[in-house]
């Protein structure tokens, strides 16, 4: 099996060298870009399995680059970890809301970064074994192509959003707490419970006509999230 190709986008040479060295030790094929424009050109010309993206970049900044990639059907499923000096909660939430799969603040542990890359790739690579279509109202979840459409129009869900939707759709009528969803989707990853809320909110912006009044993924206040049994 060919090595997974990772693009590291950061304007700090020391960070690029540190991240690249540790990923190569684990068998990854690593390339780099020092600004958003260079990264965008490389992504559109080549193929990458993963993106490690600094928030503060010259030219196109990390948040904007992430937004561009997630809004493009060709790159919407590209797994992204935000790597940045900004560690405030608002930055973490914003990064997750626009489609990043994970967020690590500098300074960071190289071993933790590698572990998180592997965990996100595992989630992206895990596809349901049974080929079938799950239907929720006008939503169609294709378990073979790993895609979701609404009224026959494809939606751009990340791998984590897809797994959340499938998990709830396959268990209609059952309410799951944040901790239960963390165990089911993120497993042993060290992520905050708030991460569940962020991904549910982003999922709703994709599948709901009115995210403030969700039809598909609903909230039972103080308990958790669910899909109604009779939808």
Mean per-residue pLDDT of the chain? 89
Is the model's pLDDT at 89 over the cut of 80? no
Give CA–CA dist 41/46, Å, rounded.
8
The model's pTM is 0.61
Closest by CA position to 34, among listed 44, 42, 22: 42
Q: What is the pLDDT of residue 130?
A: 45
Q: Is the pLDDT of residue 10 over 90?
A: yes
Q: Can 5-125 and 133-227 be said to share one CATH topology? A: no
Strand 133-136, strand 217-220: pairing:
unpaired
Between residues 205 and 72, which one has the greater pLDDT?
205
Split at pLDDT 50, 70, 90, the class of 193 is confident
Res 208 pLDDT > 50:
yes
**CATH code at 5-125:** 3.40.50.2300
Cis omega before residue 107 (within 30°)?
Answer: yes
Given a cut of 60, whether residue 127 has pLDDT beyond it is no
Instruction: Identify the pLDDT of residue 167.
Output: 95
Backbone angles phi, psi at 148, to 5 degrees: -130, 135
Q: Do the beta carbons of residue 33 and residue 56 sit within 8 Å?
A: no
**Arithmetic mean of pLDDT, 12-34:** 96
**pLDDT band for position 129 (50/70/90)?**
very low
Map out the domains of the chain as residue ranges: 5-125, 133-227
92, 71 in Cβ contact below 8 A?
A: no
CB-based contact 218:225 (threshold 8 Å): yes
Question: Could you report the per-residue pLDDT of 131-155, keeping only the tens digit for each?
Answer: 578 999 899 998 877 889 999 899 9
Before 130, cis peptide (omega within 30)?
no
Strand pairing class (217-220; 147-150): unpaired
For 133-227, which CATH class?
A: mainly alpha
Q: What is the mean pLDDT of residues 32-43?
A: 95
């Amino acid at each position: 099996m060919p090595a997974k190709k990772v693009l590291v986008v950061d304007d700090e040479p020391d960070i690029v060298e540190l991240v690249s060295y540790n990923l190569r030790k684990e068998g990854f094929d690593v390339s780099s870009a020092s600004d958003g424009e260079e990264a965008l050109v490389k992504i559109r010309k080549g193929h990458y399995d993963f993106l490690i993206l600094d928030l503060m970049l010259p030219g196109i900044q990390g948040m904007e680059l992430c937004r561009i990639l997630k809004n493009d059907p060709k790159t919407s499923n590209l797994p992204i970890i935000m790597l940045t000096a900004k560690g405030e909660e608002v930055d973490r939430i914003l990064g997750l809301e626009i489609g990043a799969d994970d967020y690590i603040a500098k300074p960071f542990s190289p071993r933790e970064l590698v572990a998180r890359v592997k965990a996100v790739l595992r989630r992206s690579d895990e596809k349901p074994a049974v080929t079938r279509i799950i239907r929720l109202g006008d939503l169609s979840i294709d378990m073979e192509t790993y895609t979701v459409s609404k009224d026959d129009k494809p939606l751009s869900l990340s791998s984590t959003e897809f797994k959340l939707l499938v998990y709830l759709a396959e268990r209609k009528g059952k309410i799951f707490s944040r901790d239960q969803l963390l165990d089911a989707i993120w497993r042993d990853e060290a992520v905050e419970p708030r991460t569940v809320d962020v991904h549910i909110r982003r999922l709703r912006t994709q599948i709901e006509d009115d995210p403030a009044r969700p039809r598909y993924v609903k909230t039972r206040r103080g308990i958790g999230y669910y899909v109604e049994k009779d939808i």
